[in-house]
Structure 1
Amino acid sequence: MSILKLVEDRPTPKAVYNWKVYLLAAVASCTSCMIGYDSAFIGTTISLDSFKDEFGFGTMGDTERNLISANIVSCYQAGAFFGAFFAYPIGHFWGRRIGLLSAGLVFTLGAGLMLGVTGDRGLGLLYAGRVLAGLGVGAGSNITPIYISELAPPAIRGRLVGVYELGWQIGGLVGFWINFGVDETLAPSHKQWLIPFAVQLIPSGLLLIGALFIRESPRWLFGRGRREEAIKNLCWVRQLPADDIYMIEEIGAIDQALEEQRRSIGMGFWKPFQAAGTNKKVMWRLFLGSALFFWQNGSGINAINYYSPTVFKSIGVKGTNTSLFTTGIFGVVKTVVTFIWLLWLIDQVGRRNLLLIGAAGGSVCLWIVGAYIKIAQPENNKSDSLSGGGIAAMFFFYLWTVFYTPTWNGTPWVLNSEMFDPNMRSLAQACAAASNWLWNFLISRFTPQMFTAMGYGVYFFFASLMMCSIVFVYFLVPETKGIPLESMDALFDIKSVRHAHGQMVAQLRENEEQFRHDIESSGFAATKMGDEQVEDTTAEPKYA
């Protein structure tokens, strides 16, 4: 199977896989560039000597210094927690496009406030700017995966939502290397540490420009009763006429799903809240989606992202510049394996298998790193270079990155973007994103204290949580790859989680054959799909 081969839920014209759907995903994913950049640059920026000197870190004790560092990092996550919920009414009433535009505006305002910070003014503007920036990225983390999943053909939905994760990693790559660059090329000064803060304005500016031109989600328009505009946008995205059999099938599936929602959940603003409190099926999926981000953060990724200099110091890496370089390599590894995840793993291996493999391999690596630190005690090493054991520990740390990044880093976002009904999707994504930022906040707030109090035990703690996540996924999370959004209810109704995907695919095949038989029996003939001739419209489709 080639790396770009598609496994389709039904025969699909090649026109559907066009540049427009990728462009829309890329524009929306500027939000994740903002998130990824922050997660990477802030920890290394506050470790620069120029920043420490300007704000008097050298005169503080370890406890006070850890507290201020944790507050600078974590107030961003606190803002993002609330931003994820604030995005729900915006996305519901005004749409995904306006939601993205609002996220970009709030983030830009916050980033601008940070540029006014000086040693004389203190850290007040920095705290305020980071809270506002957090509100913006929290809103973006809610709306972007939904927007992309609602545009995506099922065969490449994982890949397109994966563009969101790719944006995260590209932003992180720049964030990891920006401080190495300013440390290498600029003398310690106010300008040296301010430049990394200013770079935040680039992805937010791109989002603001792009959001002015992108199309609104057709599924959101259908839900708001704007049918003609919805069909027009869907035809534009798919590059097919409205009377093409593929379009008739997709529009019919959307209509059927909306009708089912009217009967079960309802279409109003408060209906999803009522369903979340009274419908056990909805409550269960909300729990699954939110819990995935508990396990994601339980891997230790955000402790490493935000405090990478501390992490590498615990392994035995010495010197600010060396630590920044090592952190930059960490960013390169993450970005490279994200490309592999995006192009092949997410839509071929599937969501469930990736989570299981990543948790198992990542846990083993963290046990080994923690064991090395316990036995070798690298903080007592007088040499500036790593020992043989230290090099081995670094290898297993980077191997952990290879296991984690293409599995737990982006896959929970893909799952949450696709496993809910359209009317439930905004609230569900708000809950999932808020869960991510809640655990993100707790990890970023207490990581310095954890390393001080637990030492090598931090690695054992995260390794144990990764082992527990295997049990959670194996027994509770079904595979969703290649399943149309409108069929997610039926998928989660199947009791055998391990076999749910296979049974759902068989049911889809049966429904597809019946639909085409009914179409042909009614006298409808469609031998043209886009500009290409279809050899046999009744041929059995390939399934995941």
Structure 2
Amino acid sequence: MSDVKDDAVAAPRAAREPHRARLKLITVIATFGGLLFGYDTGVINGALPYMRSDLGLTPFTEGLVTSSLLLGAALGAVAGGRLSDRRGRRRTILLLAVVFLAGTLGCTLAPATAVMVGSRFVLGLAVGGASVTVPTYLAEVSPAERRGRLVTQNELMIVTGQLLAFTFNAVIGNAFGESGGVWRWMLVLATLPAVVLWFGMLVLPESPRWLAARGRSGEALAVLRQVRAAHRAEAELAEVEQLAAADERSRSGGWADLATPWLRRLVGVGVGIAVVQQITGVNSIMYYGTQILTGAGFSANGALTANIANGVISVLATFAGIWLLGRRNRRPVLLAGQAGTLCALLLIGIFSLVLPAGTGRAFVVLALTVTFLAFQQGAISPVTWLMLSEIFPLRLRGFGFGLCALVLWLTNFAIGLLFPVLVDGMGISGTFFLFVVLGLGAVAFVAKHVPETRGRSLETLEEELRARYSAR
């Protein structure tokens, strides 16, 4: 503890030390995986209207093109985690960079819908793999006192990638919107960060925790000396080896543990939290925001430009959410976020019904989508990922988190697939009213079942949750 305190007091001096510069470089390069995650999930927002005519898309195939990435991400999240355990975090991220590049080129050159769907699925494998491997790598390289801050930078890079996608969509669409295949230029830009990620990871070290878990203590110490002050590296190696041994024991966690009633209930709560995050309808706006704004009354180019506001507010709200979670309990923040998103969705549905199509309705809907994202990205999304990393006991943490991530991506897939079909059949108002009904159920679930996790060590929290869910 004294080492951590000394580092905090001597921050100005430590900032000049090489290990801090090295750690910053690792964070910047590794989070290009998050940037790609954000860009590839956000770029479809502006590209889809142009694909519709070039590829002859129907409402169903629009949903299929969008959601095929999400189905791939569900598989990639599970496979990526297992691969990184076996082959290492660094090697897995290198492989993901190649998959990002291959998937992007496949989408860019796709001559028909079937090829586009297949390429988006491949791209999804990389997105899902990055969603679990990059945060794990950052957590294992970071010192304890900076871990939260460095890991959450990946979340910032995700929303930054979405903002870049919205911005480039607007620039390209406004400049070349009448040209055939303009969507291909929107997609191909993602090759650049994929190349940066691959070359960058070549010069980065492997996770010291992964190395220690495989008995490669000398290599683990060499990595720690790169990213720690000299007086901390050797002392921390013993802690890393102890944690690695605990992780090795924890691998016994799996389906058999669900026979224990309190663990089964706890996993059910985790799955519920994952579903709650998705049924707000957030990704209907992140994937189909341009179409929503066009339907509200914007021109095609105007919708592309206005959609940048959704990206800007997502970045700003994520900053605010990180600050808020350091000062407020998790459950009230989550409930406040749900209340805010419910009101925004309800008002979008109402104003889409009562206001005539035109500029007035267009700007009202834009203001409400921005409000929705402020509550979603500032409260619901950060709480979701934080609580899922906290609630599971050590032996079940990897399995439980992976299962919840799988359910989250599958729910995301279902919403991405069905949203254009619902809008075609029910209209935008009816679709958002449906999200409101689902949201009311989500509020009831959180109020009744989700525990508070702030201010407790993971060990204390495990004992509290064991007592809470064993008593039911």
| Structure 1 length-normalised TM | 0.75
| 1:315-394 paired onto structure 2 within 5 Å | 316-342=296-322, 344-349=323-328, 351-376=330-355, 378=356, 381=357, 384-387=358-361, 391-394=363-366
Confirm or deny that 1:305 pairs with 2:289.
Answer: no
Moved more, 459-468 or 176-185: 459-468
Moved more, 39-48 or 413-422: 413-422
**2:392 touches 2:462 (CA, 8 Å); kept in 1?**
no
**1:352 touches 1:478 (CA, 8 Å); kept in 2?**
yes
The RMSD of aligned alpha carbons is: 3.1
* Match among 171, 174, 190 for residue 164 of structure 2: 174
Confirm or deny that 1:288 pairs with 2:269.
Answer: yes
Map of 1:537 onto structure 2 = none
Matched residue pairs, number? Answer: 458
Q: Distance in 2 between matches of 1:489 and 1:418?
A: 10
Residue type of the alignment partner of 2:67: S
**1:77 touches 1:438 (CA, 8 Å); kept in 2?**
yes
Map of 2:107 onto structure 1 = 114
Map of 2:213 onto structure 1 = 223
Structure with greater helix share of residues: 2
| 1:116-515 paired onto structure 2 within 5 Å | 116-118=109-111, 122-186=112-176, 188-242=178-232, 247=235, 251-252=238-239, 254=240, 257=243, 266=249, 271-273=252-254, 276-280=257-261, 282-314=263-295, 316-342=296-322, 344-349=323-328, 351-376=330-355, 378=356, 381=357, 384-387=358-361, 391-420=363-392, 424-455=396-427, 456-480=429-453, 487-495=457-465
**2:63 touches 2:421 (CA, 8 Å); kept in 1?**
no
Q: Distance in 1 between matches of 2:368 and 2:199?
A: 42
Map of 2:72 onto structure 1 = 79
- Deviation of 1:224 after TM superposition, in Å, equals 2.7
User: Residue 409 and residue 108 in structure 1: after superposition, are their counterparts in 2 closer, same or farther (change >3 A)?
Assistant: same
- Deviation of 1:211 after TM superposition, in Å, equals 1.8
Q: Distance in 1 between matches of 2:200 and 2:71?
A: 27
Q: Deviations over 1:4-27 (max 9, x none)?
A: xxxx99736236883444433332
**1:114 touches 1:125 (CA, 8 Å); kept in 2?**
yes
* Match among 8, 11, 24 for residue 5 of structure 2: 11
Give the share of equivalent positions with the same residue, in percent. Answer: 26
User: Residue 95 and residue 338 in structure 1: after superposition, are their counterparts in 2 closer, same or farther (change >3 A)?
Assistant: same
Map of 1:534 onto structure 2 = none
- Deviation of 1:488 after TM superposition, in Å, equals 1.8
Task: Give 3-state SS (helix, strand or coil) of 1:318's partner.
Answer: coil
- Deviation of 1:185 after TM superposition, in Å, equals 1.3
Q: Distance in 1 between matches of 2:217 and 2:393?
A: 18
User: Residue 419 and residue 147 in structure 1: after superposition, are their counterparts in 2 closer, same or farther (change >3 A)?
Assistant: farther
List structure 1 segments (4+ residues) > 6 angstroms apart after TM superposition: none
User: Residue 482 and residue 144 in structure 1: after superposition, are their counterparts in 2 closer, same or farther (change >3 A)?
Assistant: farther
Map of 1:30 onto structure 2 = 32
- Deviation of 1:199 after TM superposition, in Å, equals 0.8
- Deviation of 1:398 after TM superposition, in Å, equals 1.7
Moved more, 277-286 or 226-235: 277-286
Q: Distance in 1 between matches of 2:24 and 2:297?
A: 40
**1:215 touches 1:233 (CA, 8 Å); kept in 2?**
yes
**2:77 touches 2:402 (CA, 8 Å); kept in 1?**
yes
Q: Deviations over 1:67-110 (max 9, x none)?
A: 12111111111111111121132111112112211221112111
Map of 1:507 onto structure 2 = none
User: Residue 186 and residue 81 in structure 1: after superposition, are their counterparts in 2 closer, same or farther (change >3 A)?
Assistant: same
Q: Distance in 2 between matches of 1:211 and 1:425?
A: 27
User: Residue 204 and residue 419 in structure 1: after superposition, are their counterparts in 2 closer, same or farther (change >3 A)?
Assistant: farther
- Deviation of 1:478 after TM superposition, in Å, equals 4.2
- Deviation of 1:191 after TM superposition, in Å, equals 4.7
Task: Give 3-state SS (helix, strand or coil) of 1:225's partner.
Answer: coil
Residue type of the alignment partner of 1:11: K
5+ unaligned residues in a row in structure 2: which ranges? Answer: none
Q: Distance in 2 between matches of 1:297 and 1:471?
A: 15
Confirm or deny that 1:70 pairs with 2:40.
Answer: no
User: Residue 26 and residue 425 in structure 1: after superposition, are their counterparts in 2 closer, same or farther (change >3 A)?
Assistant: farther
- Deviation of 1:159 after TM superposition, in Å, equals 2.5
Structure with higher Rg: it is: 1
| 1:84-99 paired onto structure 2 within 5 Å | 84-99=77-92
Q: Distance in 2 between matches of 1:155 and 1:350?
A: 20
**1:145 touches 1:417 (CA, 8 Å); kept in 2?**
no
**1:337 touches 1:402 (CA, 8 Å); kept in 2?**
yes
Q: Distance in 2 between matches of 1:174 and 1:273?
A: 39
5+ unaligned residues in a row in structure 1: which ranges? Answer: 1-7, 58-64, 499-544
- Deviation of 1:431 after TM superposition, in Å, equals 2.2
**1:74 touches 1:444 (CA, 8 Å); kept in 2?**
yes
**1:220 touches 1:422 (CA, 8 Å); kept in 2?**
no
Q: Distance in 1 between matches of 2:318 and 2:277?
A: 16
User: Residue 471 and residue 257 in structure 1: after superposition, are their counterparts in 2 closer, same or farther (change >3 A)?
Assistant: farther
